[in-house]
Amino acid sequence: MLNKTVIVTGGNSGIGKESVLALCKMGANVVIACRETAYGNEKPVAEVIGEIERLVPGAQLSFLPLDLASLASIRNFAALFTKRHAQLDVLLNNAGVLSMERKQTRDGFELTMGTNHLGPFLLTNLLLEHLVSTPNSRIVNVASKAHSNGKLVFANNTIETRWPYTGLSAYADSKLANIYFTQELAERLAGTDTTVNALHPGGVATNIWPDPGGIMGIIKRRMIKNLNAPEKGARTSVYLCSSPETQNVSGKYFHKNKPLLPSSRARDKSIQKKLWQVSVVATGLESTLF
């Protein structure tokens, strides 16, 4: 990864932070893309950068603000990045949320779908020209095994939130969207040397799981003790970002560095293509590169 430029969304905590650390150790020039203001138990991004620089002296590490729940923020990030960097070898779409209450993004989308799918969809498309012009570039999307419980419903050319709303269902729907997006983009990128793959990181103890407090909070904290540490959860992300074994692999879904077949619902081509069309309209893309 020496001299390769990598963007890691949500690189200030959890799996993202561990991915940044591992890639810095490999010599990559890593751009942490996250919100400027720390959220929940997150540390300020400047503190995270300081920690990594102490662990990896000479680390090539920088920060650019990005809020995936804001289309304007995504556009600003893409403009700043392309102005400052001549190449983009890897885009690791790692950041994600899980909201137990129904909330909206600044643009009026349901928060989980807006942040976990529409945000990365727009970001990737805005950076696609930079990626395709960089030899052997890669896009890595952190999805989840939860996608098997997802279901996408469309109404009035939009993604409809399932009713009654539950946080876990919304999360599963967004992760299913990640799989569809990966597969459709891989088809569109055929004939280029840019690849895109998705992965399940495993059950990982990160800040994505909200603390409801009370008895449910106690149960949640006990469950977390049985989950993997973020470092272990980052291994497949780092593998897909860096391994020579996956240089020419595209459109696949991985777990523990091995390709797996996603759920049968995730292989529905008609929904895959419908989601792309709806996402283009929702994010205001006038056109896509492919």
Share of the chain above pLDDT 70, in %: 91
Q: Would residue 171 show up in a list of annotated catalytic residues for this protein?
A: yes
CA torsion sign for 236, 242, 244, 250 is positive
Class of domain 5-283: alpha beta
Q: What is the pTM of this model?
A: 0.93
pLDDT score of 206: 54
Per-residue pLDDT of 100-140, as tens digits, reads 999 999 999 999 999 999 999 999 999 999 999 999 999 99
Q: Please tell me the least confidently modeled range out of 140-149, 156-165, 188-197, 207-216.
A: 207-216
User: What mean pLDDT is reported for the chain?
Assistant: 92
pLDDT band at 222 (very low <50, low <70, confident <90, very high): low
CA angle 95, 124, 189 (to 5 degrees): 130
Q: Please tell me the least confidently modeled range out of 69-78, 101-110, 190-199, 209-218.
A: 209-218
Q: Please tell me the least confidently modeled range out of 7-11, 79-83, 145-149, 217-221.
A: 217-221
Say how far apart CA 117 and CA 120 lie, in whole Å: 6
For residues 45-71, give the mean pLDDT. 97
Quote the radius of gyration of the chain (alpha carbons, Å). 18
pLDDT score of 229: 73
Catalytic residue among 39, 171, 239, 253: 171
pLDDT above 90 (res 282): yes
pLDDT score of 219: 47
Domain segments of the chain: what residues? Answer: 5-283
